[in-house]
Amino acid sequence: MNIASLRMRLILALVVIVTLTSTLFAGGVILIKQQLEAVIFGDMVHDQLEVLSQQLEVGIYTEESLFDNWMLYADVNNTGLSSEIRSLSVGSHHSVIVEDNYYQVEVGEINGNKIYLTYDITEWENQEHQLLEMLAYGIGIVLIAAIFMGRQASRTVLAPVISLAGRVSNIQPKQRNVRIAEDYQGNEISLIATAFDRYQERLDQFVDRERSFTAAASHELRTPLSVMMGAVDVLDSQAQNAVSKRALSRIKRACAEMLAFIEATLFLSREDSSTIDQSEPANVNSIIQSVLDDNISAIEEKKLKIVMNLDAKLLLQQPDSIVRIMTSNILRNAIEHTNEGEINITLAGAHLTISDTGSGIPEKDLPHVYDRSYTTKEGGNGLGLNLVKRICDRFNWEISIASVLGKGTQVSIFFK
């Protein structure tokens, strides 16, 4: 959830609370007023009807006995009585509307005939309507005030959160031992800041361990390989038969590949932009040919046809070992998954395409081919294409894979 969403939720909560409270209060006032009117007017008109009924029974009733805005209909035919009032049952009736006027009506009986006493309460009802309008306007004003207050309150409440988010986002990956809890002491955000500091501390310890391992691995793995390659050079300088020379050549290539792999993985594990030392650019054409030579036994064993169209000599400023690792993984995958088929290698400008007529990849698996755990080879670990993708991401090279199950796979790389 972003800050804007949290701010809107705070404002909405305040608006809902204020609006609901105001509406309940206004509704309560109106309900109490209506009930008081019904009781007061009802009792008053009821009592007056009893008095007038007694006067009618003893024959002393006169119109002068009525108050202003009061009317008594006691005639048998009830001349002048509206149909709205005539249809009422015996009892008290509040706010009976007759031609835009409001009446409190009390219906009684004398000798089996209904009598009606009405009291014009139009002025009271108009005042009630004005009160309703005032309450409606008041609720609207309160709603506007709640929105304004909500915006102000949200700024105040979210200020520490915004400050913390800005502080955290400004921390660079290379920065170490950064602690922020002291800046938020006595603040609700201090709990979050303290938890973040604890995470940063564990992360710093992890990075220190990783750097120590990388430095140690760089030295401890390269040294024995250099010794082995030196010993192979000594043996190679002496007279050897053809079989021994081929064996020494394979040992030398294996050591070189292992050293290149170590350099590539250590290079990718570094956070900084340091590169592997090399005296000249990486020749992609030569690397492709070298990788094919290293896998010539598998190519001949599977009776594969290699079609190459290398119409350009591509030189890259990136490390030779990095390009070799990437190219080797792609070509080995093509060789391993193709039997008595064809592998096409095309290099046009900065665009390298390697396609095969092998088993292909299921369409549902294509989004996962770069996952470290994905592999179609029994006993495989899925590191090959994952390493290739990491190399491409590191140097902003574009890589794409297209495949049809049972027909083959095409891997394209564009070296920017």
> What Å distances lie between residue 277 and 285, 287, 319, 323, CA to CA?
20, 17, 7, 14
pLDDT at 78 over 70: no
Which of 326 and 189 is assigned the larger pLDDT? Answer: 326
pLDDT at 380 over 70: no
Residue 412 confidence (pLDDT) = 94
Total of domains in the chain:
3
Mean pLDDT of 119-140: 84
pLDDT at 276 over 60: no
| End residue of a domain, out of 88, 115, 148 | 148
Q: Looking at 15-19, 87-91, 342-346, 394-398, which range is the least confident one?
A: 15-19
Tell me how far apart the alpha carbons of residues 390 and 328 are, in angstroms, rounded to a whole number: 15
- Maximum CA extent, the chain: 155
Q: How confident is the model at residue 272 (pLDDT cuts 50, 70, 90)?
A: low
Task: Tell whether 51 and 133 lie within a shared domain.
Answer: yes
Task: Tell whether 341 and 262 lie within a shared domain.
Answer: no
What's the whole-model pTM score? 0.50
Task: Tell whether 139 and 88 lie within a shared domain.
Answer: yes
pLDDT at 216 over 70: no
Q: Is residue 370 part of a domain?
A: yes
pLDDT averaged over the chain?
Answer: 82
Task: Tell whether 289 and 410 lie within a shared domain.
Answer: yes
Mean pLDDT of 273-299: 79
Q: Is residue 172 part of a domain?
A: no
Q: How confident is the model at residue 2 (pLDDT cuts 50, 70, 90)?
A: low
Q: CATH code at 38?
A: 3.30.450
Task: Tell whether 254 and 297 lie within a shared domain.
Answer: no
Task: Tell whether 262 and 345 lie within a shared domain.
Answer: no
Tell me how far apart the alpha carbons of residues 80 and 72 are, in angstroms, rounded to a whole number: 11
Task: Tell whether 251 and 344 lie within a shared domain.
Answer: no
Q: How confident is the model at residue 344 (pLDDT cuts 50, 70, 90)?
A: very high
DSSP 413: E
Helix, strand, coil content of the chain in percent (nearest 5): 60, 15, 25
Residue 12 confidence (pLDDT) = 83
Residue 356 confidence (pLDDT) = 93
Q: Is residue 390 part of a domain?
A: yes
Q: Is residue 184 part of a domain?
A: no
Q: Looking at 14-18, 147-151, 201-205, 239-243, which range is the least confident one?
A: 239-243
Which of 353 and 177 is assigned the larger pLDDT? Answer: 353
Q: Is residue 71 part of a domain?
A: yes
Q: How confident is the model at residue 371 (pLDDT cuts 50, 70, 90)?
A: confident
Task: Tell whether 17 and 90 lie within a shared domain.
Answer: yes
Which of 267 and 118 is assigned the larger pLDDT? Answer: 118
| End residue of a domain, out of 131, 148, 165 | 148
Q: How confident is the model at residue 330 (pLDDT cuts 50, 70, 90)?
A: very high
| End residue of a domain, out of 118, 148, 178 | 148
Tell me how far apart the alpha carbons of residues 169 and 183 are, in angstroms, rounded to a whole number: 15
Residue 306 confidence (pLDDT) = 92
Question: In terms of C-beta distances under 8 Å and separation of at least 24 residues, what long-range contacts does 10-15 make, across chains too?
Answer: 10/150, 10/153, 10/154, 10/157, 10/158, 11/147, 11/150, 11/151, 11/154, 12/150, 13/150, 14/146, 14/149, 14/150, 14/153, 15/143, 15/146, 15/147, 15/150
Q: CATH code at 397?
A: 3.30.565.10
Task: Tell whether 202 and 96 lie within a shared domain.
Answer: no
pLDDT at 377 over 70: no
Q: Is residue 173 part of a domain?
A: no
pLDDT at 252 over 60: yes
Task: Tell whether 9 and 134 lie within a shared domain.
Answer: yes
- Domain around 55: 3-148
pLDDT at 89 over 70: yes
Q: Is residue 175 part of a domain?
A: no
Q: How confident is the model at residue 197 (pLDDT cuts 50, 70, 90)?
A: confident
Task: Tell whether 14 and 138 lie within a shared domain.
Answer: yes
Task: Tell whether 64 and 136 lie within a shared domain.
Answer: yes
Instruction: Identify whether the C-beta of residue 125 lies closer than 8 Å to the C-beta of residue 102.
Output: yes
Mean pLDDT of 31-42: 81
Q: Is residue 170 part of a domain?
A: no
Mean pLDDT of 1-7: 66
